[in-house]
Amino acid sequence: MPKFNYIAMDGAGKETRGSVEASSQAQAIAQIRSQGLFPTAIGQVGGAGGGGKAAPREAKAAAKGGGLNMEIKLPAFLQPRVKAKELTIFTRQLATLVDAGLPLLRGLRVLHRQTRNETLKKALLTMGESVESGSTFSESLALHPRIFDHLFVNMVRAGEAGGVLELVLTRLSEFMEKSEKIKNKVKSAMIYPTVVLVAAVGITGFLLIAVIPKFEEIFMDLLEGKSLPGITKFVIAASNVLQNYFVIVAVAIAAIVVVVRIWAATASGRLILDHVKTRLPVFGTLIRRTAIARFTRTLGTLMASGVPVLQALTIVRDTSGNAVFASALQRVHDSVKEGESMAAPMEQAKVFPPMVVSMVEVGEETGALPDMLTRIADTYEDEVDNAVAGLTSILEPIMIMFLAVIVGTIVIAMFLPLVSIITTLGGSSS
């Protein structure tokens, strides 16, 4: 029986190489897929010229005749990402084409011709070849995990199973648009305080390094050894530390940042850090509302698209973006798996507001949970909008006051000794 060497990818996008024995290439592809793998190149041993072992390059060359010619991907960390806006546009356009009656394969080729993003363009070419060779659309999407996440792939899989792919793609594009809208509003709210903070650090650094040393020389010459006010001593000491130990201070700050990032990457560190974030004054409320809006919107969209509730809860848990909510959703998943309701573990988790728990409970009782989750998402997205607007109005005066306090402290620290110098000079002249 002929032997085929292959290159395939698993559901996580990891490349695998191996060989199978089959009577034909089509049967070999079927065997590979039965293992949960997606073949990207396959060739018969000895079929590329001269018996012996077919190298992966030869296998790729042999795959050209079977419609499976795909480039070996760069390592995941080297692949540039596709922006959320570009992915949303692609999803919306594909939904429109499929809804208009255009075959999926032709729709992918149309979008491939007009897409300018090279990463997405290559992915569309690969996906078209994969679909043409007999793979499902969701299997083709799973070959590109850095572009299409679990949420995207599973919703498409549910749409294919239910024969409503165009509807699912429309819902998915709407979901992505609303998620991006919330994210952009939060980012825009942080632009002003970030600019003010950078300005404060820059001005303070300039004063401490360039201005304060000049005043220190003046004070030493004119005060003749007299004691300086405490606030002046503090500012001069800070200036000396920054001038003489700048490298050490910079390295220490960088080391602290690296240590915190490494700690935050651990499960316990991320959980503690996210817990602190949700308890912050002002910002904590915004973070909680954003997380609830994301959770309810995602879960509602998945369930409305036909994804089973346990699988939907797993996807929502993995895409929540907050370890506190992910832990709570895991408990909800376990409860539903045991045949219980969602509302009880949500209430016990103490992270979901009573209104959310009550609406979920009503949704479960009436059988309209997806619709109820969507309504919750709409409500909390409106609250996020209001919170962002309120946060912006509060942060502006706070940051102005923060900048004024820093600069004012330095000015006062330098002004107090000058008063003493002027008084001394006035007394001696009289």
- Considering 196-200, 341-345, 398-402, the range whose residues carry the highest mean pLDDT is 341-345
pLDDT, average across residues 162-179: 83
Question: What's the confidence (pLDDT) of residue 40?
Answer: 65
| 145 vs 55, higher pLDDT | 145
**Does residue 259 register a pLDDT over 90?**
yes
Task: From 296, 311, 295, 35, select the one nearest 155 (Cα to Cα).
Answer: 311
Question: What's the confidence (pLDDT) of residue 430?
Answer: 52
For residue 17, the SS3 value is strand
Question: What's the confidence (pLDDT) of residue 429?
Answer: 54
Share of the chain above pLDDT 70, in %: 87
Residue 26: Cβ within 10 Å count: 12
Q: Confidence class of residue 428 from pLDDT cuts 50, 70 and 90? A: low
* Domains of the chain in sequence order: 3-72 (no CATH), 81-176 (1.20.81.30), 181-430 (1.20.81.30)
d(CA 177, CA 49): 51
pLDDT, average across residues 380-388: 84
| 323 vs 51, higher pLDDT | 323
Question: What's the confidence (pLDDT) of residue 11?
Answer: 59
pLDDT, average across residues 396-405: 84
Question: What's the confidence (pLDDT) of residue 50?
Answer: 38
Check: CB of residue 402 under 8 Å from CB of residue 203: no
CA distances from 68 to 1, 53, 132 (A): 22, 20, 9
**Does residue 388 register a pLDDT over 70?**
yes
pLDDT, average across residues 330-355: 89
Each residue's pLDDT tens digit, 1-58: 788 888 776 655 567 788 888 887 777 877 887 787 776 667 777 654 333 334 344 3
Each residue's pLDDT tens digit, 127-137: 888 888 888 88
Q: Confidence class of residue 252 from pLDDT cuts 50, 70 and 90? A: very high
**Does residue 411 register a pLDDT over 90?**
no
Question: What's the confidence (pLDDT) of residue 427?
Answer: 59
Question: What's the confidence (pLDDT) of residue 54?
Answer: 40
- Write 130-137 long-range contacts (CB < 8 A, 24+): 130/38, 130/68, 130/70, 131/104, 131/105, 132/67, 132/105, 133/29, 133/66, 133/67, 133/68, 134/29, 135/33, 135/38, 136/160, 137/104, 137/165
| 415 vs 189, higher pLDDT | 415
pLDDT, average across residues 288-316: 86
Share of the chain above pLDDT 90, in %: 9
User: If you average pLDDT over every residue of the chain, what do you get?
Assistant: 81
pLDDT, average across residues 328-352: 89
Check: CB of residue 380 under 8 Å from CB of residue 292: yes
pLDDT, average across residues 78-93: 81
Strand-strand pairing, 38-44 and 3-9: antiparallel
Question: What's the confidence (pLDDT) of residue 46?
Answer: 62
- Model-wide pTM > 0.75: no
Task: Assign 3-class secondary structure to 98-113.
Answer: HHCCCCHHHHHHHHHH
d(CA 359, CA 154): 26
**Does residue 110 register a pLDDT over 60?**
yes
